[in-house]
Structure 1
Amino acid sequence: MLEFYKYEGTGNDFVMIDNRDLNFRKDTELIKNLCDRRFGIGGDGLILLENDSEDPSHLHKESCQSADFRMVYYNSDGNESTMCGNGGRCIVAFAHFLDVFEEKCTFNAIDGLHEAEVSNGIVKLKMIDVKNITKDGDASVMNTGSPHYVKYVEDLEDFEVYQRGSEIRNSETYRREGINVNFVEKINDEELFVRTYERGVEDETYSCGTGVTAAALTYLQNQDSDSVNIKVLGGNLKVYAEKDGENFKNIWLEGPAKQVFKGKINI
């Protein structure tokens, strides 16, 4: 019998498991089934909260600094994946619920060490510095912890996100490694509307934290501001970033993260 928790951050939902005892079986098919919305619990991904280890062999080389806990993230296809921003905010809320920390914490993920803080249900998560923003036609490509393609469009409310996102993600350029595809519409000088097709989920999600971060950085490249509000299908987020020449540092993703329910399931 497996005890689990369900968390969501602006509609990006995750099966959350306290794996500090390392009893969870990290099996691809099991994780895929748990994330299945008809035959399992359902979620865009599954996240394990583990004690931070002195042996970071499966983590990024920059993840060697000791932290309060470790995040291990799996997409709904059952495969361990790159950083998930909303998942990061949700695991911080989960760790706070478990009394792992009081207000501020650090945790290791596949892309390195992250800082975070919690206040009144709002989680502010520090993302990795972003360098090497490139162009693919009129779109921008970068890594914000996961690889992202960012394209500005008009009338995003009625845009065919699944069809166009799938085409780009499975194009010859990106088919092998995969890429997350973000479509962006400027609402006004202080707010963007973002919709994302996520690899691994292979569908549009209600929100993507690393995706809205990528969208925000493409916008802030040409602005004097150091922050922008983001509207997603599942709610609202805010991204803060400091320019460093052509790059960005001190990037923070802020928004709500909450526990929806807990339960037990036979596995």
Structure 2
Amino acid sequence: MPQTISFTKGHGTGNDFVIVPDPDGALDLSDDQVAVLCDRRFGIGGDGILRVVRASAIDEGTDAAAAGAEWFMDYRNADGSKAEMCGNGIRVFARYLAEVGWASLDGEPLAIGTRAGVKTVTRSELGLEVDLGPWRVETDEVLVRARGIGAPRPGLGIDVGNPHIVVALPDTRELDGLDLGVMPQLHPEPPHGANIEFVVPSDPLVRDGVGSIRMRVFERGVGETLSCGTGVAAAALAVRHWAGPAAPDHWTVDVPGGTLGVRMPLVGDEHHVLLSGPATLVYSGEVALA
């Protein structure tokens, strides 16, 4: 008999996930099982899987458990591949923990283990906010070929715990004309691939001290998604980098699935990037594993 598991469907600005509770680490989902669960025709449908497991019950959670995080977000892309982080996913993960009573979002920041280290989540005006920590701007230029924009465009590498390549486009016509049903090509190809963001600055770029951009994204292991949390952060950081030292530390980013907020406060002696936005739980049920 096939094994039956519980699940909850959730999303953050349309970036959707199948949440699988496995507190004691009893499940060993294969890449094929993840792919079937995420299949939009033959499964539940989602951009990825969020397995909810105690940090002490998974080998990858050892450091997180030592740092005081009870829970570990085992995030898998829709093709089954592992990912370091997911900015929308971790907000949905935190919302699930609070909803089922396994953690609280009232009071101290909620620490959650990820493959990119321990991240903290708090409530915010837009819903929930995650501190993604410090970031890194890569020095090597990457050329990006994408259907619908003609000649290759230069991309800026931004690492926010997972790798991103951000490409600036001149206007919304080019952004809307992109065909992201075909995977963009990177030259050179990063060793572990990257999410690719295409951004257009608003006009004016800054209003009342807040920057504003539009974005579309192709996620490795998934394809185009309605939103990508870490991609939103990377896109805001890239535009801020290009705009120079006078650029603001607060941004709004419009994606096909909605609007997210990004800010870059000084935490201790280094700047962090924080992402805020909604996290929605849609329905729960049971499914037989393939």
Q: Normalising by the residue count of structure 2, what TM-score does the alignment of the two structures yield?
A: 0.82
Matched with 2:253 is 230
Q: 1:167-223: CA deviations, max 9, x gaps?
A: 32xx4511652111100001132210010001010x110000111111111122324
8 Å CA contact 1:131, 1:248 repeated in 2:
no
Q: Which moved more, 1:128-137 or 1:216-225?
A: 128-137
CA distance in 2, matches of 1:133, 1:249: 16
Find the residue that maps to 1:181 and give its secondary structure.
strand
CA distance in 2, matches of 1:13, 1:106: 22
- For 2:184, the aligned partner's letter is E
Matched with 1:215 is 235
Matched with 1:184 is 199
Question: What is the correspondence of 1:17-56 to structure 2 with a 5 Å cutoff?
Answer: 17-53=20-56
Larger radius of gyration: 2
Matched with 1:140 is 156
CA distance in 1, matches of 2:140, 2:235: 13
Q: Are 2:189 and 1:174 aligned?
A: yes
- For 1:77, the aligned partner's letter is D
8 Å CA contact 2:47, 2:225 repeated in 1:
yes
Q: 1:88 to 1:25 in 2, by over 3 A?
A: same
8 Å CA contact 2:9, 2:283 repeated in 1:
yes
Q: 1:175 to 1:116 in 2, by over 3 A?
A: closer
- For 1:238, the aligned partner's letter is G
Q: 1:44 to 1:101 in 2, by over 3 A?
A: same
Q: 1:50-102: CA deviations, max 9, x gaps?
A: 1121x774259687412131111000001222211111111011111122124
- Unpaired segments ≥5 residues, structure 2: 143-153
Q: 1:28 to 1:207 in 2, by over 3 A?
A: same
8 Å CA contact 1:95, 1:101 repeated in 2:
yes
Q: 1:151-175: CA deviations, max 9, x gaps?
A: 1102244231416x7232xx45116
What is the Cα deviation at residue 25 of structure 1? 2.6
Question: What is the correspondence of 1:198-213 to structure 2 with a 5 Å cutoff?
Answer: 198-201=219-222, 203-213=223-233
Q: Are 2:116 and 1:111 aligned?
A: yes
8 Å CA contact 2:64, 2:72 repeated in 1:
no
Q: 1:80 to 1:60 in 2, by over 3 A?
A: farther
CA distance in 2, matches of 1:74, 1:162: 21
- For 1:123, the aligned partner's letter is L
Q: Which runs of 4+ in 1 moved over 6 A?
A: 60-63
CA distance in 1, matches of 2:198, 2:270: 21
- Unpaired segments ≥5 residues, structure 1: none
CA distance in 2, matches of 1:126, 1:134: 24
- For 1:18, the aligned partner's letter is P
Q: 1:161 to 1:60 in 2, by over 3 A?
A: farther
Find the residue that maps to 2:82 and give its secondary structure.
coil
Q: 1:150 to 1:63 in 2, by over 3 A?
A: farther
8 Å CA contact 2:124, 2:276 repeated in 1:
no
Q: 1:6 to 1:23 in 2, by over 3 A?
A: same
Q: Which moved more, 1:154-163 or 1:186-195?
A: 154-163
- For 2:239, the aligned partner's letter is Y
Q: Normalising by the residue count of structure 1, what TM-score does the alignment of the two structures yield?
A: 0.89
8 Å CA contact 1:150, 1:182 repeated in 2:
yes
8 Å CA contact 1:63, 1:110 repeated in 2:
no
Matched with 1:76 is 78
Q: 1:37 to 1:123 in 2, by over 3 A?
A: same
Q: Which moved more, 1:57-66 or 1:76-85?
A: 57-66
Q: 1:172 to 1:102 in 2, by over 3 A?
A: closer
